[in-house]
Amino acid sequence: MSVCAGVPLPKPCVLKRMEDSSKEDYKIHSFDMETQKLLKTALKDPGSVDLEKVSSVIVDQSLKDQMFSKEAGRICFTIVQAESKQNGGSVFRRNLLNRLQQEFKAREETRKRSTQEWVCLVSFICNIFDYLKVNNMPMMALVHPVYDCLFRLAQPDALKNEEEVDCLVLQLHRIGEQLEKMNLQRMDELFCLLRDGFLLQDGLSSLGRLLLLEILEFRAGSWTLSETAQKYYYSEVTD
């Protein structure tokens, strides 16, 4: 019979695919009207706005707004492209990355201060890694920082928080395969931590364990779930 007899396990919905979004939807509704206007202008005519301010505004919001932190990569990429096309410049990208680097450096304090902000930061960095390709390749400069963030999330104190585990598996779903290509060794190490965590970690919630098991299977299946695993994790328990 069903493996999970007894208490039905909660099913994670870690992958929220935004397939419904139109190409123009950059999810900027959470900004105030003036800022929305600034962003829209930046998309059309980057040379006419203060790009440092634009990057600053985007980073600030990403740290506060969970939804935006997962999607901000797209608007950033579009602005980068627009600026490059308009005048060959890369002011926005440079400012964005350097600001991101600052936040990255301060991540431990951020984590202490607010788990939510920390999780937003990780989501944002990973989203940037996903979208901001350079000559169709991921930015080398971000590979180690992204891994650093994921390793931090795989530490015992982080695994205890569902919020952090959820963030971890979300990132691995989205960019795990790319990351692995850039650096296989670190991915192997990361997954050793995840296996250990799954097996040995006290204080892991059942949801936390479920999330970890799913990601272990996901990677073992070359970054995809078998049909049966998909059914197991993502369909309703009809027991």
Partner 1 sequence: MSDPRRYRQEESCAAEENRNKGSSRWSQCRKRGADGVVRGSQKEAELTNNTDRKGNRPHRPNSFTTPESEGPVSRIRDWGDEVEFDEMRTNVRRDMQRYRRRILAGEFTQRERKTSSGSSDSKDSRDSPAPGEFETDESVLMRRQKQINYGKNTLAYDRYIKEVPKHLRQPGVHPRTPNKFKKYSRRSWDQQIKLWKVKLHAWDPPTEEGNDLQAADQIDLGEIMDLDFDMEASVDELQYPKTSSSVSSSLPQDSCTGTPSKMMKMDETEIA
* Site of interaction with partner 1 (CB under 8 A): 47, 87-91, 93-95, 97-98, 100-101, 134-135, 137, 139-142, 144-145, 147-148
Backbone dihedral angles phi then psi of residue 137, each to the nearest 5 degrees = -125, 150
CB 89 within 8 A of CB 127: no
Of the pair 136, 228, the CB lying nearest partner 1 is at 136
Of the pair 139, 207, the CB lying nearest partner 1 is at 139
Phi-psi sector, 136: left (phi>0), alpha (psi -120 to 50), beta: left
Query: In angstroms, what is the minimal distance from the CB of 89 to partner 1?
Result: 6
Query: In angstroms, what is the minimal distance from the CB of 159 to partner 1?
Result: 21
Angstrom distance (rounded) from CA 238 to CA 204:
25
- CA 72 from chain centre, in angstroms, equals 10
**β partners of residue 137:** 134
Of the pair 9, 82, the CB lying nearest partner 1 is at 82
- What are the angstrom distances between the C-alpha of 28 and each of 84, 85, 106, 132? 22, 23, 26, 18
Query: In angstroms, what is the minimal distance from the CB of 232 to partner 1?
Result: 36
Query: In angstroms, what is the minimal distance from the CB of 28 to partner 1?
Result: 24
Query: In angstroms, what is the minimal distance from the CB of 190 to partner 1?
Result: 13
Of the pair 90, 116, the CB lying nearest partner 1 is at 90
Of the pair 51, 168, the CB lying nearest partner 1 is at 51
Q: What DSSP character marks residue 203?
A: T
Question: Within 10 A of 60 (CB to CB), how many other CB atoms are there?
Answer: 13
Q: Where are the alpha helices (DSSP H) in 106-155?
A: 107-113, 115-131, 140-153
Q: Is the dihedral of CA 182, 108, 14, 78 positive or negative?
A: negative
Query: In angstroms, what is the minimal distance from the CB of 231 to partner 1?
Result: 39
Angstrom distance (rounded) from CA 215 to CA 194:
9
Query: In angstroms, what is the minimal distance from the CB of 136 to partner 1?
Result: 9
Of the pair 35, 90, the CB lying nearest partner 1 is at 90
Of the pair 8, 47, the CB lying nearest partner 1 is at 47
